[in-house]
Amino acid sequence: MPDKDAGTPRVFIARHGETEWTKSGQYTGITELELTAQGVTQVQNSGRVLVGPGKLIDPSRIAHVYVSPRQRAQKTYELLFSSPVDASKNVSTTDRLAEWGYGEYEGMVTSQIRALRKEHGLDTERPWDIWRDGCEGGESAQQVTDRLDDLIKEIRSFQVNHMHGEPGPADIVLVAHGHLLRAFVKRWLGYPMEFPLSLMLEPGGIGVLSYQHHNVEEPALFAGMAFPTPSSLNGQIG
């Protein structure tokens, strides 16, 4: 990492690998689906390159891993960390990382949702946008905001004491879902859900969040980062 960022704790966001509904574009909330063979490969490849001693996500530097309760996220965690994270008690399942509750829209694609809402007399002036309108019978944007803000508060209350590379693990890993993790990024940066921040996170992909200027009040998103050699990496990630 750049010298000015050395020692600043990270939050790594990991999306689960591909499922059949990921391929078809169907909204998958509470439905339990297994990873496809391609989904398993996606996660294994990410883990092989990014996870391990001396790599970007070094298990010895992880303070806590939070995992969605959904089966596809649990499997993704197992594949990413082929060897367990040190102090396995620091891995927890939390409903705060469950995918957005889609309610009546579970299993639908966007075009079907918009047609259904038209039948219900909704969206007469503008098309449905989950970030603004939420889901009938499911979660509103505010409900998702509330549970993510609670998790962010918990993470920052810990990381505030590790802003300058203080001894001990300080990185956090989140293993969850496409909509939910993009929502997490918006809230991490302090934006409301409806803020037009277009984000992409591929199945099996990993993103990185941190802080500017070693300041917990300046949360940031890594839009791009250079990867040092393994020997220099060991002393740079806090």
Q: Using DSSP, state whether 110 is helix, strand or coil.
A: helix
Is 107 annotated to bind ligand? no
Is 72 annotated to bind ligand? yes
Distance, C-alpha 218 to centroid of its chain: 19
- Active-site residue among 18, 64, 99, 106? 99
Q: Using DSSP, state whether 230 is helix, strand or coil.
A: helix
- Active-site residue among 16, 64, 179, 214? 16
Is 100 annotated to bind ligand? yes
Is 106 tagged catalytic? no
C-alpha neighbours within 13 Å on the C-beta side of residue 63: 20
**Which is nearest to 13 in space by CA: 207, 223, 161?**
207
Is 16 tagged catalytic? yes
Is 27 annotated to bind ligand? no
Q: Concatenate the DSSP letters of all residues of 55-79 into one string.
A: SSB-GGGEEEEEE-SSHHHHHHHHH
Q: Using DSSP, state whether 204 is helix, strand or coil.
A: coil
Is 124 annotated to bind ligand? no
194 Cβ contact partners less than 8 Å away, ≥ 6 residues apart: 129, 131, 132, 141
**Which is nearest to 29 in space by CA: 133, 186, 120, 139?**
139
d(CA 13, CA 81): 14
User: What are the counts of helices (DSSP H) followed by strands (DSSP E) for the chain?
Assistant: 8, 6
Is 99 annotated to bind ligand? yes
Cite the active site residues: 16, 99
Q: Which residues does the annotation place in the binding site? A: 28-29, 72, 99-102
Q: Which residues does the annotation place in the binding site for substrate? A: 28-29, 72, 99-102
